[in-house]
Structure 1
Amino acid sequence: MRSEIRARRWFLLLWALLLAFKLVLAARLPLFVDEAFYWQEGRHLAWAYSDLPGLTAWLTRIGVALGGNDVLALRAPFLLLAACLPWLVVRITAREFDPVQGWQAGIFALLLPLAGTLGLLAVPDVAMALATLLCMDAGTRLLRTVDATAALELALGLAIGALSHYRFIAVIAVGGLALLLIPEGRRALRDPRVWVALAFGIAAWTPLLAWNLDNAEAGLRFQLVDRHPWAFHADGIWFVLVQALLVTPLLFAALLLAAWRHAGDDNRVARYFAWLGALVVLGFFVLGFFADTERVSFHWPLPGYVALLPLLPGVLRRWPAWLRRATTALAALGLLTLLGYYAAVSVPALRAHSAGAKWYPGNFAGWEPLARAVRELRATLPADTRIVADNFKVGAELGFALDDPDIAVLPHPLNRKHGRAPQLALWGLRADDRAALGPQPLLLVVGASEIAYKHLLAHYHDLCARLGPLPAPLVVNVDHGRQRFLLFAFGEAAQTGACTTPAMAWFDAPAAGARVGRRFLVAGWAFKDGVGIARVEITLDGHPLATARYGLPRPYVAPFWRISTDPAHPDVGFDAEVVLPEGSAGVHWLGLVLHGKDGSRETWPEQRIVVDDTRD
């Protein structure tokens, strides 16, 4: 009894603290690009969409309908569902084993990093975890006896899963296989009430299937064909390491041990949990050798870990006390690390500090400064100016910030890569050229940092082909230019003529991250198609430092940028020797201001250098 009270108190304390922290963090964390698109889908209510079934979009719509167009309101339904999940784990484990193990399993449902952070983002994984637990609970009831309550719970879980994500098909398949491996499960599957529940669950896929039938199977092709290479690659071996780090090593080992130990257990419920969890995790491990490696997939096995949580306390009881404490402490540290990452992402100064790092959170960053710049520029333009985005990310994020779900979007590789192109076309928001946008002023917003630099000039020329010569842009550099947006104001009448593009540039010296003395050479090249460069200004930490000599020969530039039309080629080089004052040691950001011959002024992304006084 004393152990139960102690475990319950720890659970309640952790649950309350985690929920409070997540509420504060969810209110401050910038909107992730997928969340923004789910918001946009919620503003165009439908039974299904090109990337997902309808439930995620419906939840975002409920949130903003009740709480206004605010990030916390958007995430509130997901936070509420996520807060219920540990209680379900407690209930299932306590009923099948004992109350102490129930509270202990609930504690680890809070500490498991992937589960403990659920709800911070408005994503489908929350509803999928809920559906998994409901189906698990129903499955354990069916193993004892088939009744209407268990069948109804199974139907509800299957329906929620079907309305959440295509990936829930894996949970259904594994759950069915786990029941078939147990005699009592096979008996339950012969009961008509279970078949009715299964029929209800199958019917919940109807909206998604209907959408695909009406749209040339675009959603199925994206989820099952286009995004996956379906060819063996060795990257799947990283699955074990990545999962061990995300779950935390000792907890990962304990969950796998639980699956191994109970796979042949005489207790049919324990055996069911073991097979369900093990097959989900193992299935995604095997899939990792053939599936998509370009998009985030580390969260896919979460339903498997959730299924193994009820078995975890029994495994930990056999471990020595020091190892149990180490497992708990390491899991808590993993949760705090992941929460700390989200907290850091929510602080602009910390995001800016990470601008030169590979883990820079680009999908969270820059949207608020961009929205401010768009509002300010739009206030100076005609009232009927229409905003156009060059990709779905910009369109959705700006749409949320401006409360406008109908921002037109140009064709872009990102739209296809993320499966959003068909949906934009269905909404009538895809605009292929100027004629499709109508005879009115336009404000084009381009996410320049979303295109690989080697393809950026071609992207600019594609924009010219669609909209005409590009006017001088207003540049919005966020976090030293790691996120870079260009705003182009077009008049009412379409323009013709040679393509004019934003400037292109490169630092030949110093290299990014280089250590330099107080006196060093800055060299590189710059060009601007259709107009040309008038002068190049060197900046340090955003302040003018020197004016470079421009027009130096760089014969290797034009052969690389074959489509460039700047008549100054090959004389597009620049250099300047700069001398910094004493006391300049430390980290600085070296930048450029590119002045076009058309009077344009474009700030170039900055690169990090380290000034070392001892090198002089």
Structure 2
Amino acid sequence: MNDDGAATRLPAFAVREITAIAAVLAVVLLSLSGRYGYHRDELYFLAAGRHPAWGYVDQPPLTPMLARVSTTVFGDSVVGLRVVALLLAIATVFVAALITRELGGGRGPQILTSAAVATSSMVMVAGHMLGTPSTDILVWALVGLLTIRLLRTQEPRWYAVIGLVVGIGFLNKFLVVLLAVALLASIALLGPRRVLLSWWLAAGIAIAALVAAPTLIWQATHDWPQLTVAQGISDDDGAENRIMFIPSQFILLAPPYALLWIAGIWRMLRDPDVRWSRSIPVAYGLLVVVMLATGGKPYYVIGLLIVLLAAGAQPVLQWCTERGMTSILVTVIVVSAVLNAVVTLPVLPRTEVNTVNGINREQGEQIGWPQMVDTVAEVWESIPESDRSTAVIFTQNYGQAGAVDRYGPDHGLPQAYSGHMSYADWGPPDDGMTGPVILVRFPDRAAIEDSFVDCRSVARVDNGYGVDNTEQGTVVAVCSGPRGPWSKVWPDLRHYY
């Protein structure tokens, strides 16, 4: 025992059972990964991976790098892209079980934790589609595990590992800094404060800063564009995020799993055996306040919610076992798994996706990209061959441009250009590309045509399945050319939202 009464000997790790649960998750994700298609963000990550940099206007470099690595190793396909997301989800399941073990939970609680995490909606989403949450959830859970290990053992050398993980997380999303600050603040407030009195803390901060330095330098030399993007997100969605933040905490894993993380909060705050970890739920509370103040998205703190869930597995399982309710607990997990899979994974036929689209619109956003490019290709074919050498395909957002870049070569299409996010940095077209311009825009964004000359709508996108997604009804117009040289009009075409 250490000075705070934390046990130094841990239960055995239920490696076989947790491996079996992770394997089932892997089989489900892999078998469904190619059933619909790319998400718009994935198309953007593919494009960004082809333009390697230490930063982009809206994100650090890690996720585009992972997209490039995954498609290089596992194949340039939807399935190949998503293998790395699957692996990150599996790692999250193992980390969550290790957190339960770190807090004294034996085989049963570890199995409960891994089953709940593997069947939670956010982990399914993050494991199905490659995005910044795929890495972010794992990083937050891993920082939580390492912090608990630090608090339990009071061995300050763990700061070096925590610093490394925070630095890597920073290369994926800057929000991990808020996690680190919240944890340090809560430890300073509640203790054990002695873990702060070590030069290893400074070493950990230095390691994190060193790993994060390249993307920090990139942002600084480009006038911190990510802050502009973050402000825009807050301005556009901040009110809705604030309204939905607290309710979403009870939904994003699964409503019944709220009992687990609430029990985890109670246990860390009240149970003498693990009260040394009480700074973890306090850090979660601090982060909730920050997110409400800034209009952050509800899923930003899911990684820490998983840490609390892992802490609550032991008392919940004990309570159910004492009352002969373990079969009910198993039923709840099975029902949650099925419902979460239907809502988050491509289980339904494409024609039925509207059934769940109101709950999870990301389902519908994976449908219709080949059809959109087919429409663009038909318009391209209508342009006289003699004019194609100076023609440009310009799209309103990065998903449309990414789709043209992914599927367009099969139709003989040139690369697409867009002013959206970092696509703006990969343009403009040469001033000699005087037109015509194939303009791909949303139906309610006709104002973009003011930057072009003599535009006429010639086609509308139909995904063929009746799915009500963002691209359904997208207008394809043909314009004579840009309203001036591309180098002059390009700054007006850049946008972040």
For the pair 1:488 / 2:495, whether they are aligned, the reply is no
For 2:369, the equivalent position in structure 1 comes to 367
**Structure 1 residues 317-396: aligned runs within 5 Å:** 317-321=317-321, 323-344=325-346, 347-351=349-353, 361-379=363-381, 381=383, 382=385, 384=389, 385-396=391-402
* Contact 1:29–1:343 (8 Å) recurs in 2: no
1:553-590 superposed Cα distances (whole Å, 9 cap, x missing partner): xxxxxxxxxxxxxxxxxxxxxxxxxxxxxxxxxxxxxx
Cα 1:473–1:20 change in 2 (3 A) is same
Cα 1:45–1:92 change in 2 (3 A) is same
Q: How far apart, in 2, do the equivalents of 1:78 and 1:488 lie?
A: 36
**Structure 1 residues 134-213: aligned runs within 5 Å:** 134-143=142-151, 144-146=153-155, 148=157, 150-181=158-189, 183-184=191-192, 186-213=193-220
* Contact 2:442–2:474 (8 Å) recurs in 1: yes
Higher strand share: 1
For 1:427, the equivalent position in structure 2 comes to 426
* Contact 1:134–1:153 (8 Å) recurs in 2: no
1:163-205 superposed Cα distances (whole Å, 9 cap, x missing partner): 1112212211122124324544x32332223321221112333
* Contact 2:264–2:308 (8 Å) recurs in 1: yes
Shift of 1:131: 1.9
1:18-69 superposed Cα distances (whole Å, 9 cap, x missing partner): 2101012222232121222222211111111111111111101111222333
Q: How far apart, in 2, do the equivalents of 1:231 and 1:125 lie?
A: 18
Q: Which moved more, 1:157-166 or 1:398-407?
A: 398-407
Letter aligned with residue 347 of structure 1: P
Cα 1:254–1:441 change in 2 (3 A) is same
Residue aligned with 2:461, SS? strand
1:501-531 superposed Cα distances (whole Å, 9 cap, x missing partner): xxxxxxxxxxxxxxxxxxxxxxxxxxxxxxx
Letter aligned with residue 208 of structure 2: G
Q: How many residues align?
A: 458
Q: Which moved more, 1:17-26 or 1:319-328?
A: 319-328
Q: How far apart, in 2, do the equivalents of 1:437 and 1:328 lie?
A: 66
Shift of 1:469: 1.3
Letter aligned with residue 389 of structure 1: T
For the pair 1:442 / 2:434, whether they are aligned, the reply is no
Cα 1:15–1:231 change in 2 (3 A) is closer
Q: Which moved more, 1:318-327 or 1:45-54?
A: 318-327
For 1:503, the equivalent position in structure 2 comes to none
For 2:461, the equivalent position in structure 1 comes to 476
**Structure 1 residues 78-117: aligned runs within 5 Å:** 78-100=85-107, 101-117=109-125
Residue aligned with 2:216, SS? helix
* Contact 1:117–1:335 (8 Å) recurs in 2: no
Shift of 1:236: 3.6
Equivalent of 2:132, from 124, 130, 136?
A: 124
1:215-256 superposed Cα distances (whole Å, 9 cap, x missing partner): 332212322x33224999697454333322333333203311
Structure 2: runs of 5 or more not aligned: 1-10, 485-497
Q: How far apart, in 2, do the equivalents of 1:45 and 1:236 lie?
A: 35
1:92-120 superposed Cα distances (whole Å, 9 cap, x missing partner): 43344144133332222223332244321
1:590-613 superposed Cα distances (whole Å, 9 cap, x missing partner): xxxxxxxxxxxxxxxxxxxxxxxx
* Contact 2:375–2:460 (8 Å) recurs in 1: no
1:301-332 superposed Cα distances (whole Å, 9 cap, x missing partner): 21221211331222113423455544443344
Letter aligned with residue 309 of structure 2: L
Letter aligned with residue 173 of structure 1: V
Structure 1: runs of 5 or more not aligned: 497-616
Higher helix share: 2
* Contact 1:246–1:334 (8 Å) recurs in 2: no
Residue aligned with 2:79, SS? helix
Residue aligned with 1:477, SS? coil
Letter aligned with residue 132 of structure 1: W
* Contact 1:54–1:164 (8 Å) recurs in 2: yes
Cα 1:316–1:203 change in 2 (3 A) is same
Shift of 1:300: 1.8
Q: How far apart, in 1, do the equivalents of 2:34 and 2:111 lie?
A: 29
Residue aligned with 2:33, SS? helix
* Contact 2:320–2:329 (8 Å) recurs in 1: no
Cα 1:181–1:328 change in 2 (3 A) is farther
Q: Which moved more, 1:44-53 or 1:301-310?
A: 301-310
* Contact 2:86–2:128 (8 Å) recurs in 1: yes
For the pair 1:215 / 2:215, whether they are aligned, the reply is no
Equivalent of 2:283, from 255, 279, 287?
A: 279
Q: How far apart, in 1, do the equivalents of 2:308 and 2:466 lie?
A: 45
- RCO (CA 8 Å, sep 6+): is it higher in 1 or 2? 2
Q: How far apart, in 2, do the equivalents of 1:192 and 1:358 lie?
A: 48
For 2:8, the equivalent position in structure 1 comes to none
Residue aligned with 2:23, SS? helix
Shift of 1:473: 0.4
